[in-house]
Amino acid sequence: MAAEPSEPLSDSDLLARHVAGEPDAFGELVRRHRDRLWAVAIRTLGDREEAADAVQDALVSAFRAAHTFRGQSAVTTWLHRITVNACLDRVRKAATRRTAPVDDTERFEQLLEPHESAEAPAERKELHRELLAALTTLPAEQRAALVLVDMQGYPVAEAARILDVPTGTVKSRCARGRARLAPLLTHLRSEVAGADETATRNRTPRTSVPPPSGPRDTGTSDPAAVKGGGGRT
As a whole number of angstroms, the distance between CA 175 and CA 170 comes to 9
The secondary structure of residue 5, as a DSSP letter, is: P
Residues 167-194 pLDDT 10s: 999 999 999 998 888 887 776 555 555 5
> Has residue 107 got a pLDDT over 50?
no
- Overall pTM surpassing 0.85 (yes/no): no
Cα→Cα distances 161→79, 80, 166, 171, 180, Å: 11, 9, 8, 13, 24
Cα→Cα distances 199→75, 183, 190, 202, Å: 43, 26, 14, 5
Contact 165, 97 (CB under 8 A): no
Residues 9-33 pLDDT 10s: 999 999 999 999 999 999 999 999 9
As a whole number of angstroms, the distance between CA 1 and CA 29 comes to 32
